[in-house]
Amino acid sequence: MNILIFAVTALFAMVIALSVGLFALARQIGVLFERVSPMGALVNDSGPEVGQQTPLFNLPSLTGGAVALGPKPGRSTLVFFLSPTCPVCKKLLPVIESVRRAEGRWLDVVLASDGQKAQHERFIETAKLSSYPYVVSTELGLAYRVARLPYAVLMDEHGVIRSKGLVNSREQFDSLFNAFDMKVPSIQTYLDGQHAVQH
């Protein structure tokens, strides 16, 4: 009988210890998630700032017609800077297509780059990009101070830059639209603000 009581007491103590350990582990996981918050598009400090008017451009498209960047009644514009030699850019092309299909009722997507026209024409053909406006302009990249690719700029119907940054993943791409919807310069700005409020 004494052995049975001892066994039950030991089991009860083990259950209590495991419960305390599980609670401590859950708390540490919560702290870890707070520290490793989602990373938005990497915003650089150069070029036109979020909240400023975009530089105005009217550029010929390699896929036909012309592309006007600036105020566009009822239509926002996403400019995606890419290169035929950038593997991450190519990886994000299905994301671009998904965005265009999902947000096409209010958003125009423009692909932009610089370099040799013939190389871009081959890229348009092999990557099946003929349905996108595709501009090749060194001046456009310089205006936005694009130093690394892939890079995206999202502007509203008034031609005001609402979010921008280096995008290497679907999550970073989505952060541009989250910042647009939340009316904040970037997800990092929002998270830093929330962190400051909590402390």
pLDDT in tens, the chain (199 residues): 678 787 888 888 898 989 888 888 877 776 554 444 445 555 666 678 999 999 999 999 999 999 999 999 999 999 999 999 999 999 999 999 999 999 999 999 999 999 999 999 999 999 999 999 999 999 999 999 998 899 999 999 999 999 998 898 888 888 888 888 888 776 666 555 544 444 4
Residue 131, both tokens: 């349905």
pLDDT of the residue at 190: 55
pLDDT of the residue at 187: 61
* pTM exceeds 0.85, yes or no: no
Backbone angles phi, psi at 109, to 5 degrees: -110, 125
Continuous H helices in 69-134 = 87-103, 117-126
Long-range contacts of 122-127 (CB under 8 A, 24+ apart): 122/84, 123/84, 124/62, 124/63, 127/90, 127/93
β pairing state of 134-136 and 161-166: unpaired
Under 8 Å between Cβ of 188 and 43:
yes
Classify residue 144 as exposed, middle or buried by CB count within 10 Å of its CB (0-12, 13-18, 19+): buried
pLDDT of the residue at 63: 97
Amino acid at 71: P
Residue 106: DSSP 8-state = T
pLDDT of the residue at 199: 45
Backbone angles phi, psi at 112, to 5 degrees: -140, 150
Under 8 Å between Cβ of 189 and 197:
no
**Residue 64: which region, alpha, beta or left (left: phi > 0; alpha: psi -120 to 50)?**
left
